[in-house]
Amino acid sequence: MKKKSRFLQTPVEPFAVEGGLSADQILLRMEKISFQGRNLATAHRIWQKMLDDDVTIFLGMAGALSAGGLRLIVAHLISNRWVDCLVSTGANLYHDLHETRGQRHYLGSPHADDAALADERIDRVYDTFASEEEFIGNDNWIADFAATLESRPHTTREFLHLLGGHLWNTTGRDGILTAAYRANVPIFCPAIADSSIGMGLSQARQKKPGAGFIDVIGDIVESANLIIRRPRTASIVLGGGTPKNFINQASVQAEYYSDQVGGHRFAIQIVTDVPHFGGASGSSLEEAQSWGKLASDAARVSVQADVTIALPILASALATTVPPILARRKAPVFTLASRAMTIDGRSVPNDHFEEVNEPAV
Q: CA-CA distances (angstroms) from residue 6 to 3, 39, 72?
A: 9, 22, 45
What is the average per-residue pLDDT within 211-234?
98
What is the average per-residue pLDDT within 213-225?
98
What is the average per-residue pLDDT within 304-310?
98
What is the average per-residue pLDDT within 173-194?
98
What is the average per-residue pLDDT within 336-350?
95
- C-alpha span between 191 and 56 (Å, rounded): 22
The average confidence (pLDDT) of the chain is 96
Contact between residue 214 and residue 159 where contact means Cβ atoms under 8 Å apart: yes
Is 207 in the active site? no
What is the average per-residue pLDDT within 311-324?
98
pLDDT of residue 68: 98
- Spacing of C-alpha 154 from chain mean position: 21
CATH architecture classification, 23-348? 3-Layer(aba) Sandwich (3.40)
Domain boundaries, the chain: 23-348
pLDDT at 47 over 80: yes
pLDDT of residue 338: 87
Contact between residue 184 and residue 157 where contact means Cβ atoms under 8 Å apart: no
What's the pLDDT tens digit per position in 107-147?
Answer: 999 999 999 999 999 999 999 999 999 999 999 999 999 99
pLDDT of residue 359: 46
Give the residue with greater pLDDT, 356 vs 226.
226
The DSSP code sequence of 242-258 is HHHHHHHHHHHHHHHH-
Task: Determine whether 11 is exposed, middle or buried from the number of CB atoms within 10 Å of its CB (0-12, 13-18, 19+).
Answer: exposed
pLDDT of residue 2: 81
What is the average per-residue pLDDT within 36-65?
98
> Per the residue annotation, which of 2, 208, 293, 330 is the catalytic one?
293
pLDDT of residue 304: 97
pLDDT at 45 over 70: yes
What is the average per-residue pLDDT within 272-286?
92
| Confidence grade of residue 258 (pLDDT, cut at 50, 70, 90) | very high
DSSP-based three-state secondary structure for 327: helix
What's the pLDDT tens digit per position in 84-106?
Answer: 999 999 999 999 999 999 999 99
Termini Cα distance of the chain: 57
SS3 string, 20-37, reads: CCCHHHHHHHHCCCCHHH
pLDDT of residue 28: 98
What's the pLDDT tens digit per position in 158-180?
Answer: 999 999 999 999 999 999 999 99
